Structure 1
Amino acid sequence: MPIPEFVVALRAKIGHDPLPLSGVIAVVLDERGRVLLVRRSDTGEWALTTGCLEPGEQPAEGARREVFEETGVVVEAERLLSVEALELSTAPNGDQVHWLAIGFRCRPVAGTARVNDDESVEVGWFAPDSVPPLPAHQARCLALARAGDGDPWFAGSR
């Protein structure tokens, strides 16, 4: 996975120490209720589209950018799903990250789903009953997106 230049610059100063970063999770649902997933090139697992926000980037714009970069699908962010601080994670190179994950429900408006960068090896639409296992925070975002219009979820809210 390409590391954003601003993270490379910060890592030059702090090494592998924990770094707080903001990221987005995009739940893209089409008119048939299918969800867009990517098979990650780093783990081989299926996942929702995720990514790191650039400095000063608005979260909804970051979600739109990440979906297009990874899948070639142009989306519109419809609503906020969740805001969650994830557990400390460690990348294969030893970098530690405290992610603040911001989830959005999105709908496709243009484009055809395809592998569009080196972050994924496969892209596909999945019916609700055929979604492979997802990390807990991503499964929660998917459930919130499918539940319709409700309040955003955050730790301690429900």
Structure 2
Amino acid sequence: MSEELPRHSVSVTGVVVRDDGRVLVIKRADDGRWVPPGGILELSESPEAGVVREVLEETGIQVEPQRLVGVYKNMVLGVVSLAFRCRPVRGKARCTDEAALVEWLNPKEAVAAAPEARAVRITDAFRNDGPFVRIHDGSILL
């Protein structure tokens, strides 16, 4: 009898950057952490379509993915997140069931507000030498 192997979960993160350089971040309703918007990728969608859907659902902002920023694995939960730098296309930022607050912060403020494992995605989105591959424990890079 063969045991079923554990499976990874795949999520997407949108690092949305306006023309003025401000970054879209949410204060999660479930744990109060400031993070770029994102969530679980559905089986039927491409990573790019997933990031568009997740950012819109969580913030009311329609985005256009520009490039893959990196691949980030939570070693504790087995979640692999694909982060994309995106540009806003339309919409007005609004709170949702998942986002208690939605703000446009300057990159320094956004990085300072987020846990290290999420802040690095913002930092990486402003670099041009990626995409990056990083591992973390949900909060801290390993």
TM-score class, shorter-chain normalisation, is: 0.7 to 0.9
Q: What's the secondary structure of 2:75's corresponding residue?
A: coil
2:87 to 96, 107, 127: 107
One of 98, 105, 113 as aligned partner of 1:119: 98
Q: Does residue 47 in structure 1 map to residue 35 in structure 2?
A: yes
Larger deviation, residues 35-44 vs 129-138? 129-138
Please report the RMSD computed on the Cα atoms of aligned residues, expressed in angstroms: 1.8
- The whole-number CA distance in structure 1 between the counterparts of 2:134 and 2:60 is 32
The TM-score normalised by the length of structure 2 is 0.84
Contact 2:34 2:115 in 1 (8 A): no
Q: Distance in 2 between matches of 1:138 and 1:59?
A: 18
Percent identity for Structure 1 against Structure 2: 37
Shift of 1:19: 4.7
Counterpart CA distance in 2 for 1:77 and 1:142 is 14
The CA deviation at 1:25 is 1.1
| Residue type of the alignment partner of 2:103 | G
Quote the offset at 1:114 in angstroms.
0.8
Contact 1:25 1:138 in 2 (8 A): no
Deviations 1:29-70 (A, max 9, x none): 001100001110101121110200001311111011000001
SS of corresponding position for 1:130 = helix
Post-superposition shift, 1:155?
4.0
Query: For residue 92 of structure 1, what is the aligned residue in structure 2?
Result: none
1:151 Cα deviation (Å)?
2.5
TM-score normalised by L of structure 1 = 0.76
Aligned equivalents of 1:45 and 1:85: distance in 2? 18
- Where structure 1 has 5 or more consecutive residues not aligned to the other structure, the ranges are 1-13, 90-97
